[in-house]
Amino acid sequence: MELAGTTAVITGGASGIGLATAKRFLELGANVVLGDIEPDALDEAVGALGPRCVGLAVDVAKEEDVISLRELAIEAFGGAQIVFNNAGVGGGPTIGTPKAVWDWVMGVNVDGVVNGINAFVPYFLERGQGWVVNTASLAGLGGVPDMGAYCASKFAVVGISESLHHELALASRGVGVSVLCPGFVSTRIFESQRNMPDELRDYNDAPSVREVNRIAEKVVKAGIDPSEVANAVANAVLGEHFWILTHERTALKTTELRLAWMRGGPPPGIDLERATKS
C-alpha cells in the first residue's frame, strides 16, 4: 500500500505513539485525521502538524464519536484509507482493581478498537482498499503482574486482530490489518489516569496503585522513542505485514517461554526491564 495521497485516521493522536505516527505519515505524503480525548493537546498537535492534518475531540469508547472521525476524513480529505486504532490507557493489578476501573480500561482499549473496526472496515471493503492497525502490546502476548485489566484488553486486541486478518483474507477485497505489540515506549501512558472519568480518580490514591504507577513510570521512561514505533507502523502498512514487533526479541522470547510453560515447563519469570529495549 502507498501512503502518499492517502488519509489516515489516528486515535490517541495527540500524544505519544499516535502523534509520532501522524508525523511519520505526513512525511510520507498522507493526510491525517487525529482523534483524541484531550482537546488542548489535540489543538496543539493539529496546529503544529499543518494543513494536511485535522482533529476532533472524541472518546473512542463511544461508537458515534468514532463514526464522526470517518465523516471528518471524508469531509476534509475526500475519504479514508487507513485507520490506526491506537488510543489506550493503563489499568491496575488483577487483584483489587474495582470493576469500574476494569470497565474504563476495556472501554477505551477494546471498545475503541471495535468501534474503529465497525466504523471503517465495511467502508474500506465497499471501496476495495484500506488498512487497519490496532495497538495491542507485549502485554497482549503474555500475562504481566499488576497489569490484569491492561493485559485482558491487549490480549483481546490481539485476538480481534487475528480474527479480522482471517476474515479479510477470506474476503480478498484489498483490505488488511496489522497489530502493534510494543514493549515499553517513552510516552505519557504511565499518566493514563489523566483521562480517567472524575468519579474513578480516588482509586489512584491507594498506596498499591501509587506503587504500580511508580514502577510503570520508571520502565516507560526507559522505553524506546515513539518515532521508532511510528517507523515500524508505517513500514508495516507499506509492506502489508500483520505483526508489528518493535521489541522483537522480547516478543519472541515471551511467546517461546509461554509455549514451554504450556508443554509442562516452568512459568516464565517476568522481568519488566527486559521489555524496555528493542
Contact 83, 120 (CB under 8 A): yes
Contact residues: ligand NAD, CB under 6 A? 11-12, 14-18, 35-38, 41, 58-61, 86-89, 108, 135, 137, 182, 184-185, 187-189, 192, 195, 220, 223
Nearer to ligand NAD, 9 or 61 (CB): 61
Q: What is the separation of C-alpha 130 from the centre of its chain, rounded to a whole number of angstroms?
A: 18
Of 32, 48, 140, 19, nearest to 83 (Cα)? 32
Shortest Å distance, C-beta 2 to ligand NAD: 25
- The catalytic residue among 150, 155, 184, 190 is 150
Nearer to ligand NAD, 175 or 251 (CB): 251
Q: CA-CA distance, 233 to 221, in Å (whole number)?
A: 21
Nearer to ligand NAD, 12 or 142 (CB): 12
Q: CA-CA distance, 88 to 70, in Å (whole number)?
A: 19
Shortest Å distance, C-beta 203 to ligand NAD: 16
Nearer to ligand NAD, 45 or 76 (CB): 45
Q: Is 150 labeled as catalytic in the residue annotation?
A: yes
Shortest Å distance, C-beta 129 to ligand NAD: 25
Shortest Å distance, C-beta 170 to ligand NAD: 27
Residue bearing cell 509455549: 259
How many Å is the Cα radius of gyration of the chain? 18
Q: What burial letters (b/e) apply to 138-155, b meaning 16+ CB within 10 Å?
A: bbbbbbbebbbbbbbbbb
End-to-end CA separation in angstroms for the chain? 26
Active site residues: 150
